[in-house]
Chain A
Amino acid sequence: MDRTVEAQFAPRLAGRIGLERTLALVARLRELGILVALAVIVVVVGVQAPRFLSVSNFEQILLSVSLIAIVAVGQTSVVLTRNVDLSVGSVVGLVAFVTGDLLKEHVLGVPGAILAGCALGLGLGALNGLIITVGRVPAIVATLGTLYVYRGLDFLIAGGKQVSAIDLPNSYLRIASSSVIGIPTLIVFAAVTAAIAAYLLRYSGTGRELYAIGSNPTAAELVGIPAQRLVFGAFVICGLLAGVAGVLWGSRFGTVNAFAAGGLELQVIAAVVVGGVNIFGGSGTVLGAVLGAALLGTIENALRILHLSQFWLQAIDGAVILLAVGTDAAIRSYFQRILMRTGRR
């Protein structure tokens, strides 16, 4: 994408209707797009297989999506600042295993193990942040490295063992299978997390600063935004949320080996991208990311219900990603053309 052109014209549009309203407008359009796609799928598949429209089926979809959504929220805050965190899958896997192991070996009780897991996620995220801000290593390289390192640590700690569901206390396992006022706990967790993050990003100063860093880092520095500190914070949050997802992962699947959550990072980034978050930072919403995760999860569920071969799933996911990014680019170039017309005086 031509960042130089965008950087030139964004202030112009901002002058006309305000930068925030511009971003908000694009974001709403994008989210609407996903909702439309979701609606189309629901209608088409629902007609073919009414079972798809049942409450329990929607619950299934939301359940399978909830863990990815939690991680996607964290990833969004990182991507907004023009970075990326490829290590989230390894963090989820490592935290899931460590939490389960702590419980299996009776080192800690359930609350203690959960706290330890989240703290581990936070720490791993902080390490990422340090390497990127203090070490000045580009995020994609740093998190590619930590993807390897954290996964390798997972195997070192696991030492060839696995944690089985029978080793874990019921109170822990029930977190993932219980419900709160009829809605599964996992879904509530994900929804609450997303809501808090969305609110903070939209309405707090820090949130707006994250957007600023991503859309124009030089300008942000000139204005006095402490970019390094905020980027560090974004990675800490991303790690923390990945840790939370890891704790819930262990509860959901019960049996965890050192290979858990392998490849999750690509699923999360796909969800974020499909959700309209610009990989170059500066625009996108948490709601979009969550909807993106939901769209991909719905497609997977639809394939199963329709008895279509699972082998089409990856190909469809790939096509959806390309379509989503293409749409984004089209929207953006449309806005640019408007800007160029109005800008010519």
Chain B
Amino acid sequence: MGWKRGAHIAIGGVMGLVLSACGGGGGGTSGGGGNLNIAFLPKQVNNPYFDVAASGGQEAAAELKGQFKQVGPSEATGAAQIPFIQTLTQQNVSAIVVSADDPNAIAPALKQAMQKGIKVVGYDSSPAPDARKVFINQADSKDIGEIEVQMVCDEIPGCAGEIAILSATSTATNQNAWIDFMKQALASNSKYSGLKLVKVAYGNDDPQTSTTEAQGLLQAYPNLKGIISPTTVGISAAAQVLEQTGKAGKVQLTGLGTPNLMRKFVKDGTCKQFALWNVKDLGYLAYYTAALMVQGKIKGQSGDKFHAGRLGDYTIGSDGVVLLGPPFVFKADNIDQLNF
């Protein structure tokens, strides 16, 4: 059995050598100075919403003569994002721009990245506040929540009846923030007293799950009058389900989506209106902010003012939050204006 002991020692030796090679290529120089190597880490890849944001990031990269790349998991979970953060840390990028599936799960990895000098900027969905410097919020969460309730109220005859929410993942920071504001608006505003929220379903930003959940809502609540889906994948899945089951027009649909995916449904009335913001601008602004931080032009603290290329001047608000702007409502008469 001597060879086995030898094997043990060999493995142990290799591992020990390698693991105790502290410093090595690991610590090294932190990403800083003029080198702009910025990576986007969305909730998931293969998601049209994040692809549009990435195009904005690429536009900013071109203007600033920096580098851009996007990596991410195919499953929208915090667990899946961690290895990517670690890899980017190993690769010594100058900044990570991240949209969090789970604000807490990725916090330790992000903090490690920050310790190495990598700037961390949140966009779309914020990681835990102490795991990022700045968060680019697409619009005020309260505004987003309220406008969605407003839209569904507009569309449902008499603004009364059962409504349901088809969300993304249950842990996504932005989803939960918007849903909370929606519930608040429903509870506090008398205009919505006829609306009753019966269920929040989770489609996990997966087309199949979203389809199944949408179908489930229709089955479980035959008197459902409206569905709010604050996620691109969810709203397009719900629209399809409504058309396939012939319920389009009887159950109103609204939420957040991209014009290209929703154009057909808006024109045939399945979804009369929905909201979003300029997603490309979101990516553009996120890149710009990260770049300025890498270059040391801003520190990322409340009150910092900066100029973000073609978008103009911004100020960092409390908690390191930067607001892109107000949400934008798409209807049949303006949906052809934007192409993304």
List chain A positions with a Cβ less than 8 A from chain B: 51, 57, 60, 64, 155, 158, 160-162, 164-166, 176-177, 253-261, 301, 304-305, 307, 310
Contacts and interface: CB of A to CB of B under 8 A. Distances in A.
A161 B244 contact: no
A61 to B, nearest CB: 9
Given A158-B46, A177-B244, A301-B219, A258 B74 contact: yes
A259 B74 contact: yes
A65 to B, nearest CB: 12
Contacts of B129: none
B219 A305 contact: yes
Contact-residue bracket for chain B: 20 to 34
A302 to B, nearest CB: 10
Contact of A253 (B75, B207, B263): B207
Interface string B189-215: 000000000000000001110011001
A160 B45 contact: yes
A257 B46 contact: yes
B99 to A, nearest CB: 16
Which residue of A158, A304, A307 has the most chain B CB atoms within 10 A of its CB atom?
Answer: A304
B176 interface: no
Interface of B: 45-46, 48, 74-75, 206-208, 211-212, 215-216, 219-220, 222, 233, 236-237, 240, 244, 260-261, 263-264
B307 to A, nearest CB: 33
Contact of B220 (A164, A176, A260, A304): A304
B261 A259 contact: no
B233 to A, nearest CB: 8
Given A166-B264, A257-B74, A304-B220, 19 more contacts: A60-B219, A64-B215, A155-B74, A162-B46, A162-B207, A164-B48, A166-B260, A166-B263, A255-B207, A256-B207, A257-B46, A257-B206, A258-B74, A259-B46, A259-B75, A259-B206, A260-B208, A301-B219, A310-B216
Given A253-B207, A258-B74, A164 B244 contact: no
A255 B219 contact: no
Nearest to B199: A307
B71 to A, nearest CB: 10
Contacts of A164: 48, 236, 261
A116 B240 CA distance: 25
B48 A60 contact: no
25 contacts: A57-B219, A60-B215, A60-B219, A64-B215, A155-B74, A158-B46, A160-B46, A162-B46, A162-B48, A162-B207, A166-B260, A166-B263, A166-B264, A255-B233, A255-B236, A255-B240, A256-B207, A257-B206, A257-B207, A258-B46, A259-B46, A260-B207, A301-B219, A304-B216, A305-B219
Contacts of B75: 259
A257 B45 CA distance: 10
A179 to B, nearest CB: 12
Contacts of A166: 260-261, 263-264
Contacts of A60: 215, 219
B170 to A, nearest CB: 11
A159 B25 CA distance: 31
Contacts of B46: 158, 160-162, 257-259
Nearest to A174: B244
Of all A-B residue pairs in the complex, the 5 with the closest CB atoms, nearest first, are A255-B207, A304-B220, A257-B46, A177-B244, A304-B216
Nearest to A163: B207
Contacts of B220: 304-305, 307
A51 B222 contact: yes
Contacts of A260: 207-208
Q: Is the interface of B mostly helix, strand, loop or mixed?
A: helix
A165 B74 contact: no
A307 B223 CA distance: 14
A236 B82 CA distance: 39
A157 to B, nearest CB: 12
Which residue of B75, B206, B264 has the most chain A CB atoms within 10 A of its CB atom?
Answer: B206
A98 to B, nearest CB: 15
A255 B235 CA distance: 12
Contacts of A257: 46, 74, 206-207
Contacts of A305: 219-220
Contacts of B216: 304, 310
A254 B240 contact: yes
A261 B74 CA distance: 14
Contacts of A57: 219
B231 to A, nearest CB: 13
A305 B222 CA distance: 10
B268 to A, nearest CB: 12
Nearest to A177: B244
Contacts of A255: 207, 211, 233, 236-237, 240
Contacts of B45: 160
A254 B242 CA distance: 13
A96 to B, nearest CB: 10
Contacts of A254: 207, 240
Nearest to B201: A310
A3 to B, nearest CB: 34
A310 B219 CA distance: 13
Contacts of A162: 46, 48, 207
A72 to B, nearest CB: 18
A257 B51 CA distance: 14
A155 to B, nearest CB: 7
B47 to A, nearest CB: 8
A289 B65 CA distance: 60
Contacts of B264: 166
A36 to B, nearest CB: 25
A240 to B, nearest CB: 22
Contacts of B222: 51
Contacts of A253: 207-208, 211
Nearest to A63: B215
A215 B27 CA distance: 61
Contacts of B233: 255
Contacts of B219: 57, 60, 301, 304-305
